[in-house]
Amino acid sequence: MCQYSAKDGVPNDWHLVHLGSRAVGGAALVLTEATAVSPEGRISPADLGIWNDEQVNAFKRITDFIKSQGAIPGIQLAHAGRKASTKTPWIGDGIVPEPEGGWQVIGPSPVKFSDNYPQPREMMSADIRKVVGAWADAAKRSLEAGFQVAEIHMAHGYLLHQFLSPLSNRRKDEYGGSLKNRMRFPLEAAKAVREVWPNDLPVFVRISVTDWIDGGWDLPQSIELAKELKKIGIDLIDSSTGGLLPGAKIPIAPGYQVKFADEIRKEAGIMTGAIGLITDPAQAENILVTGQADAVFMARELLRDPYFPLHAAKSLGDDPNYPNQYLRAKPR
């Protein structure tokens, strides 16, 4: 989740992605996390979004700076669905009531994420068309704002993932039931973004490869989804897991999700990104060198250590450029 200050609109949670040589020229990609395609798509009232021109102008200052430093600005476009209208994490947990700035949330079925989350309204066909349009409009605004990579968020129990998993999608129409039907809306959203995004710029999709719950979304279904996403021109699958239901038993350990990126890369024939407790430079380098993934996504380690890229470069024997103001502190 990408949170920001409502006062100045500056995001403080970004991914740094180290891309292999076959993805965006091997450069570093600085990627916003969940950026809502509509006000109702925010997780909390304090979330980042890109549904109006004022937001485009604010982002332009940031993307210009990222480019000036030799990096690539990317944006993760998201809709929280039934996990929306909740409190900003550092304030507390629970629902934000509509009189206090919350809103009616939507989802594939009228099934809550948990007792501490709002009751979703089941989406009608008109709602689905509206949200697909919101994704396309957000992608257009992202281009205007100077972003060069778009990532569609289909993971972590947010709206598109809610449609994919049979644990949250109880529909009986063309958007529920079979795997083909459950993939329909997510693929429509991905196609809408890909159609407005230039052919020479990448579009990624973040998925939760497994719900970690029996009877839920899993690796074989993710491979089929990845194959379909490849057909519509998606360039890379950002391979995360979980988030659909509370209480899932996840075997967390360093690099515990890398195997999923590796499997999707092999079986679907599409580039993948690895994520999840990747905190060590040698660990990240090994994932790329051994071909387990084409990119490594990092976020929390950068919050702990904002100078991680410099420390990583030194430990791997590289000689990175330092700003002139920092040269006297460069390790010798």
| Positions marked active-site | 158
Residue type, 234: I
Q: CA nearest 308: which of 274, 283, 272, 273? A: 283
Whether 216 contacts 250, CB under 8 Å:
no
Whether 88 contacts 96, CB under 8 Å:
no
d(CA 168, CA 158): 10
d(CA 273, CA 118): 32
SS3 of residue 200 by DSSP: coil
Neighbouring C-beta atoms of residue 69, cutoff 10 Å: 10
Backbone dihedral angles phi then psi of residue 82, each to the nearest 5 degrees: -75, -10
DSSP string, 126-172: HHHHHHHHHHHHHHHHHHHTT-SEEEEEE-TTSHHHHHH-TTT----
Structure tokens at 149: 């990579």
Whether 115 contacts 170, CB under 8 Å:
no
d(CA 62, CA 325): 21
**How far is residue 252 from each of residues 7, 115, 242, measured CA to CA in Å?**
36, 25, 11
Residues in CB range of 149: below 8 A, 6 or more apart: 24, 29, 31, 72, 73, 74, 75, 201, 202, 203, 204
